[in-house]
Amino acid sequence: MHSEQNSLWTRRQWLTKAPVTALAGAAAAGMLPDQAVASPLSSHSNNDFGARVYNVRDFGAKGDGVSIDTAAVQRTINTCAQDNGGIVLIPAGRFQIGSVELKSNVTLRIAAGGTLLGSADGKQYHAVDAIPLSGDTTLVDGNWALLYAVHAKNVTIEGPGTIDGQGYQFHSPVRGQLPPSGIGGSKRPYHVLAYQCEGLTIRHLDLIDCAYHSVRVIESKRVHMDSLYIHNRVNGNNDGFHFISAQYLTVSNCIVLSQDDACALFGSCQYVTITNSTFSTRWSVFRFGGGQVRDIAISNCVLHQVYGCPIKFQGNPGSSYENISFSNLVLDDVTGPIHVGVGPRAPRHTPPGTPVRDDMMTAHSGESTTPAVLRNVSFSNIHGTVTTNPGQIDESRVTSNANPGEKHSCIVFNCVGGATMENVSLSDVHLTFGGGGTAEDAARRDLPEFAGEYFMLGPMPAYGLYARGVRGLTISNVRLQVASQDLRPAVIFDNITDCSVMGLSIDADAKAESALRIINSQQVLLTAPRVLTETKVFLATEGARSKGVIVDGGDLALVTTPVTFNSGASPETVKLRS
């Protein structure tokens, strides 16, 4: 017994006194169990539990860019978590890893010269079985990741180092063929995947070349993204941020250059602020889809080269959006630029030009049939340029083609199919559109009555603003111009009620049918409008249900005819007040 105690004491002494390098070498050779690998800190007193720094090299990681350091990094995290948390340090070097789990109270710190390198070998990754792929359609995009956390609290990933996902190795050069990594589709790993976590912070870090979404956060609370640089343009579905039902979320001081959605907010995202950031993407920046969405403020952002609508709502049956503000946004070289749609989805697998039937207007199988609701949404201080010729975004290794409807879109507020859209405001907006709309585009009166992606309605009949089915629309100090000839009206109001427009200034072409068009709309007040270029007609009024339209003052000196009445509209519909 005495001999055994001496033997145990000798091992303990050796583990606490041996040089760190000797322990690391022994760990790398597989000579020590996990508890022994933790021993570089075992000589510390217990007073610093939760505040220690755990260097992954001390646990066997090599950081040579060739060796697989997954086990060593995971061992370091596990030890840190067992000691009530602390800092796991990725020092200078290139540490190649597969899937690694983050734990509660652990800060993963990547030094300035350090890189976590996602392995290009798909065998180094695995599915995170605790994250479901069924039951909620918002979760079906996959559950594979480089770094993941499940049901964890107080997790931080911070730089100033880099996470490189080597995502192009997961891109298939030929459709239907496996990519070099050996895995693709929904098995591609995210940079970071968090599920039902609380207190997640990612900051001061470069996230580059992910195989899928860079940061995907699901059903988590108190989530903070700060001072991140995301460059994600090497694969399809290369989102920047993808949040699903996140609450108490902040995004600030970030630069996101992505191939797909730059900052998607799906599901029931609530209590969100996004500010002081720059975004660029081939698809959309702020994209909303489904859920009970409320209390969101987005401000002070630059949106550059966004070929896919900077702000996009798709309100399918069962969803609701309330109390959302967009302010102080600069749009440079974008398409869209704003699409807010609530109502039934577009029909599936319908060839272009196929008539839309009533039976196509129902929700897709398994979806709610409760009409969507959107109210109290504002857009203010928005300036910039809207292109009609979207190209390839800069520094992308994958190419994409523009849909026809993307080239001649506009600001769209589209409420159909029994949905509700009310109390929407647009103020202090100055946008210059590319132009190029034709008389054929302007003549469209057959926009399909569904909500969906902005381009699915086809070329819009207005170049600046098209609003349909809205109640309580307020427009003030808005200036809409074109860079080249456009034969479409600047603004079309279609079946709207209770609309106040003050200080609207618009370009209009001399060959255009009219500068504005109102269709079956009621209680519309136009105060102090200005037409900036010569045109034949200021306001074309259509439909027998149109009534209560007032034009109060303004400058119509460049207009030949103030108002025309068509398709059953009565001359009593409009009052002109000087």
The span from the CA of 228 to the CA of 217, in Å, is 15
- pLDDT value, residue 41: 56
- The arithmetic mean of pLDDT across residues 254-277, rounded, is 97
What is the tally of structural domains in the chain?
Answer: 1
Report the DSSP beta bridge partners of residue 491. Answer: 465, 516
Q: Which of 1-10, 42-51, 353-362 has the highest mean pLDDT?
A: 42-51
Higher pLDDT, 345 or 564: 564
Q: What is the band of 138 on the pLDDT scale with cuts at 50, 70, 90? A: low
Q: Which of 1-5, 25-29, 154-158, 439-443 has the lowest mean pLDDT?
A: 1-5
- pTM score: 0.88
Contacts for 243 with CB less than 8 Å, ≥ 6 apart: 216, 217, 223, 249, 263, 264, 265, 266, 269, 272
- pLDDT value, residue 134: 64
Best CA proximity match to 215, nearest among 202, 204, 226, 227: 202
Residue 352 preceded by cis peptide, ω within 30: no
Q: Which of 43-47, 87-91, 126-130, 248-252 has the lowest mean pLDDT?
A: 43-47
- pLDDT value, residue 571: 94
- pLDDT value, residue 395: 85
Q: Is residue 201 part of a domain?
A: no
Q: Is residue 5 part of a domain?
A: no
- The arithmetic mean of pLDDT across residues 212-218, rounded, is 97
Report the DSSP beta bridge partners of residue 252. Answer: 226, 275
- The arithmetic mean of pLDDT across residues 548-574, rounded, is 95
Q: Is residue 511 part of a domain?
A: yes
Report the DSSP beta bridge partners of residue 90. Answer: 110
Q: Which of 184-193, 354-363, 377-386 has the lowest mean pLDDT?
A: 354-363
Q: What is the band of 40 on the pLDDT scale with cuts at 50, 70, 90? A: low
Q: What is the band of 300 on the pLDDT scale with cuts at 50, 70, 90? A: very high
- The arithmetic mean of pLDDT across residues 177-195, rounded, is 93
Task: Using DSSP, state whether 461 is helix, strand or coil.
Answer: coil
The span from the CA of 254 to the CA of 89, in Å, is 23
Q: CB atoms < 10 A from the CB of 142, how many?
A: 22
- Residue holding tokens 């559950």? 143
Instruction: Please report which helix (H) or strand (E) contains residue 407, including its range.
Output: helix 404-407
Q: Is residue 435 part of a domain?
A: yes
- pLDDT value, residue 290: 84
Q: What is the dihedral of CA 41, 43, 45, 49, to 10 degrees?
A: 10
Three-state secondary structure readout of 306-328? ECCCCEEEEECCCCEEEEEEEEE
Q: What is the band of 367 on the pLDDT scale with cuts at 50, 70, 90? A: low
The span from the CA of 204 to the CA of 157, in Å, is 9
Domain region containing 569: 338-349+357-578
Let me know: does 159 contact 110? Beta carbons within 8 Å: yes
Q: Is residue 562 part of a domain?
A: yes
C-alpha distance from residue 276 to each of 218, 242, 250 (Å)? 23, 18, 11
The span from the CA of 567 to the CA of 573, in Å, is 13
Task: Using DSSP, state whether 186 is helix, strand or coil.
Answer: helix
Let me know: does 132 contact 139? Beta carbons within 8 Å: yes
> Does residue 135 register a pLDDT over 90?
no
Q: What is the band of 276 on the pLDDT scale with cuts at 50, 70, 90? A: very high
- The arithmetic mean of pLDDT across residues 218-244, rounded, is 96
Higher pLDDT, 44 or 261: 261
Length of the chain equals 578
- pLDDT value, residue 364: 42
The span from the CA of 338 to the CA of 380, in Å, is 12
Best CA proximity match to 469, nearest among 342, 326, 323: 342
Q: Is residue 497 part of a domain?
A: yes
> Does residue 25 register a pLDDT over 90?
no
> Does residue 347 register a pLDDT over 60?
yes
**Tens digit of each residue's pLDDT (9 = 90 or more) over 500-538:** 999 999 999 999 999 999 999 999 999 999 999 999 999
- The arithmetic mean of pLDDT across residues 64-72, rounded, is 98
Q: Which of 1-15, 65-79, 137-151, 402-416 has the lowest mean pLDDT?
A: 1-15
- pLDDT value, residue 3: 41
- pLDDT value, residue 44: 55
Please tell me what DSSP assigns to residue 175: T
Q: Is residue 103 part of a domain?
A: no
- pLDDT value, residue 402: 79
Q: What is the band of 452 on the pLDDT scale with cuts at 50, 70, 90? A: confident
- pLDDT value, residue 23: 43
- pLDDT value, residue 455: 77
**Six-digit token pair at 265?**
């907010």
> Does residue 311 register a pLDDT over 90?
yes
Let me know: does 126 contact 70? Beta carbons within 8 Å: no
- The arithmetic mean of pLDDT across residues 383-402, rounded, is 87
**Tens digit of each residue's pLDDT (9 = 90 or more) over 400-415:** 777 877 888 999 999 9
The span from the CA of 95 to the CA of 65, in Å, is 6
- pLDDT value, residue 140: 66
Q: pLDDT averaged over the chain?
A: 88
Q: Is residue 210 part of a domain?
A: no
